[in-house]
Amino acid sequence: MNKIEELYSLNGRVAVVTGASSGLGLNQAIMLAECGAKVFALSRSGKPKVDIDREIPDTIEFRQMDVSDEQNIKDVLSDIGTNHGIDILVNNAGITKRVKAQEVTTEEWDAIHQVNVTGVFNCCKYAYLYLKESQYTGRIINISSMASYLGFSEVTPYCSSKSAVLGITRGLAVEWRNDNILVNSVSPGWFPSQMSQQVMDEDRKQKILNRMPLHRFGHPDELSPIICFLASAGASYITGQDFSVDGGAMAFGF
């Protein structure tokens, strides 16, 4: 194996990806597998929900897991960890809802935070014992959002929850610094997905496109590579960081 392969191959690793039945999560699972990892693609459905024009590697195993159910998380991750180990955890599962802030119900607020915040933390917590024992150095990669930094109308609970993901990332990176675990996050910009379509109309679409220097939406293949990089030996000196993959949106003034 040459130096580049040594740094970026994921051969021998076991990865867990949540929210992996479609969209960005499914793409991440596929690319991690293409880099050599054995991948457990977890979702409430336990199977792909969409047809894709790409071969799904046979090193991907789809399983059911509901990130809003703490006991379910514990059971599934304990089973995977006990039988296979866990080297990489990608917390991709997330939900949102477009609703005016003054009309948000407590139930809606709690449901979004249960998945986007509590679910992320519980996955980290129950994967900890196995990540700590990884021979490759355990990796946690949390999927945050541009909404961690920027305010967007009618999705305030989502903005709140994704800001919390950055807090979890930084807190665990420091607390687990001596436990063989690196913790980082990635903030995607605007990628077509079932979730983004729930809150997008034509006016919102144009505002988004005008906000980005590249003036286009991202493709999943433009996000997954940084997930694979952060999971690799090439990222062994990076922890507690967030990486924006956003077409330049965060840099755009006027």
Residue 218 counted as domain residue: yes
Above pLDDT 90, what percent of the chain? Answer: 81
237 is catalytic: no
Average confidence (pLDDT) over 190-212: 70
CA distance 226 to 228: 5
Mean predicted lDDT score pLDDT of the chain: 93
Above pLDDT 70, what percent of the chain? Answer: 96
- For residue 204, is pLDDT > 80? no
* Residue 190: per-residue pLDDT: 87
* Residue 235: per-residue pLDDT: 98
Phi, psi of 234 (to 5 degrees): -65, -15
Contact 170, 240 (CB under 8 A): yes
pLDDT tens-digit readout, 57-89? 999 999 999 999 999 999 999 999 999 999 999
Sign, CA dihedral 190-197-160-69, equals negative
Residue 91 counted as domain residue: yes
- For residue 134, is pLDDT > 60? yes
**How many folded domains does the chain comprise?**
1
* Residue 76: per-residue pLDDT: 98
Contact 26, 40 (CB under 8 A): no
Residue 67 counted as domain residue: yes
CA distance 16 to 88: 6
Catalytic residue (choose from 8, 126, 158, 237): 158
Q: How many helices and strands, by DSSP H and E, does the chain display?
A: 9, 7
The strand pairing partners of 41, in sequence order, are 17, 62
Residue 39 counted as domain residue: yes
Domain extent for 143: 3-246
Give 153 or 52, the one with higher predicted confidence: 153
* Residue 199: per-residue pLDDT: 54
Render 67-103 in DSSP notation, one character per residue: TT-HHHHHHHHHHHHHHH--SEEEE---------GGG
Average confidence (pLDDT) over 219-228: 96
* Residue 91: per-residue pLDDT: 98
The confidence band for 254, taking pLDDT boundaries of 50, 70 and 90, is low
* Residue 198: per-residue pLDDT: 55
Nearest CA to 33 out of 3, 61, 5 is that of 61
CA distance 21 to 228: 18
Residue 215 counted as domain residue: yes
The confidence band for 195, taking pLDDT boundaries of 50, 70 and 90, is low
- For residue 143, is pLDDT > 60? yes
Residue 97 counted as domain residue: yes
Residue 25 counted as domain residue: yes
Q: Where is average pLDDT lowest: 113-122, 177-186, 201-210?
A: 201-210
* Residue 212: per-residue pLDDT: 81
CATH number assigned to the domain comprising residue 168:
3.40.50.720
Residue 252 counted as domain residue: no
